Amino acid sequence: MDEHRAVDPQPPEPRAAVPKSVLARGLLLLDAFGPSDAELTLAELSARTGLAKPTAHRLLAQLVAWGGVERGTRGGYRLSLSLFVLGQRAPRQRSLREAALPYLEDLYEATHENVHLAVQDGTDTLFLDKVSGRRSTPIVSRVGSRLPAHCTATGKLFLALGPPEHLRRAVQAGLARLTPRTIITPGMLRADLARTLDRGYGLNREESEVGVTAVAAPIFDHRRRVIAAVSITGGSHRLDLERLAPAVRTAALSLSRELVRESTHGRLTLDEGDRNRSVGGAAYSESRPHFLGAS
């Protein structure tokens, strides 16, 4: 049904204890929708969540009344447009996307390849936006989908420039092999991240998808912490990574500067919240100041 399964594999819905609170149960139903599910039946939802059928039925009726879920053509349930609209109100993604779009467009226009805006989410790279066109190499990524950080150009930047804690967790989570070229040993990954720091941009040479390479550059906030990354992704034979690197870096640099400018005017909401509080506010990239210098 959907050829993009590989990116966001169906969560194997564990037989975890069903939460007791009604609210949590209702939200469980929303989570039951995987990234590639168009429409789910009551029976499926009941099975995936572990809720009794009558319970699921009743809660779904409420979700439908709310508007976040709608009934599909063939009796099933599907996530609705209202939910999409609600998601667009998330302040962090919105300000980032709006500020970044012009730069993404410039990169797209220059290359006509896939251009991504990504943030870190746990040990993954999460794609906030994707620009591509007819001439772009078809790839698996989607807006809202994720890939393991260790095998993507953007993800490696987060691991190289972010708090060491993140790298530790990523290694501990296991370096999944997506292609024969994926770096799966902690030692080689560390070496690769060191090279990433030296060069000032991230690379992915067929490490997440066969035949696909990418260049990425980091975006910093006013404290010089990495908050996002932009990348160009395309077919290995078409993309000249070394030639594109300066363009990506320049775009990321200008974007960083614009974000800093805006944030001093108090119009931005980019803070990570409490999630990465473990970070002591230090600027992890300060040891490599050339990341912010001219290329």
Partner DNA sequence: GCTCGGCATTCCGTCCAGTGGAACGTGTTC
Partner DNA sequence: GAACACGTTCCACTGGACGGAATGCCGAGC
Which parts of this chain interact with DNA (CB under 7 A)? 18, 20-23, 25, 41-43, 46, 51-55, 57-59, 75-76
207, amino acid identity: E
Closer by beta carbon to its own copies, 205 or else 223? 223
Instruction: Please give the Cα distance from 196 to 35 (Å, whole number).
Output: 31
Closer by beta carbon to its own copies, 21 or else 287? 21
Q: Does 90 bind its own copies (CB under 8 A)?
A: yes
Q: Does 92 bind its own copies (CB under 8 A)?
A: yes
Q: Do 228 and 96 meet the contact criterion of CB atoms below 8 Å apart?
A: yes
Q: Which of 56, 79, 147, 252 binds its own copies (CB under 8 A)?
A: 79
Closer by beta carbon to its own copies, 115 or else 217? 115
Closer by beta carbon to DNA, 58 or else 181? 58
List the one residue out of 193, 129, 187, 212 whose CA is nearest residue 155. 193
Closer by beta carbon to DNA, 77 or else 108? 77
Q: Does 2 bind its own copies (CB under 8 A)?
A: yes
Instruction: Please give the Cα distance from 107 to 69 (Å, whole number).
Output: 36
Of 56-64, 202-210, 231-239, 243-251, which part binds its own copies (CB under 8 A)? Answer: 56-64
Minimum distance from residue 50 beta carbon to DNA (Å): 9
Other Cβ atoms closer than 10 A to 78: 15
Minimum distance from residue 150 beta carbon to its own copies (Å): 20
The angle that helices 53-66 and 22-31 make with each other, rounded to 10 degrees, is 80
Closer by beta carbon to its own copies, 269 or else 295? 269
DSSP classification of residue 127: E
Closer by beta carbon to DNA, 25 or else 112? 25
Instruction: Please give the Cα distance from 253 to 291 (Å, whole number).
Output: 9
Instruction: Please give the Cα distance from 202 to 117 (Å, whole number).
Output: 14
Instruction: Please give the Cα distance from 7 to 227 (Å, whole number).
Output: 22
Q: Does 31 bind its own copies (CB under 8 A)?
A: yes
Q: Does 222 bind its own copies (CB under 8 A)?
A: no
3-state secondary structure at position 78: strand
Instruction: Please give the Cα distance from 24 to 143 (Å, whole number).
Output: 26
Q: Do 59 and 26 meet the contact criterion of CB atoms below 8 Å apart?
A: yes
Other Cβ atoms closer than 10 A to 250: 16
Q: Which of 38, 43, 188, 191 binds its own copies (CB under 8 A)?
A: 38
The footprint of its own copies (CB under 8 A) covers 1-2, 21-27, 30-31, 33-35, 37-39, 59, 62-63, 65-66, 68, 70-73, 78-81, 83-94, 97-98, 101-102, 105-106, 108-109, 119, 121, 126, 128, 131-134, 142-145, 266-267, 269, 271, 273-275
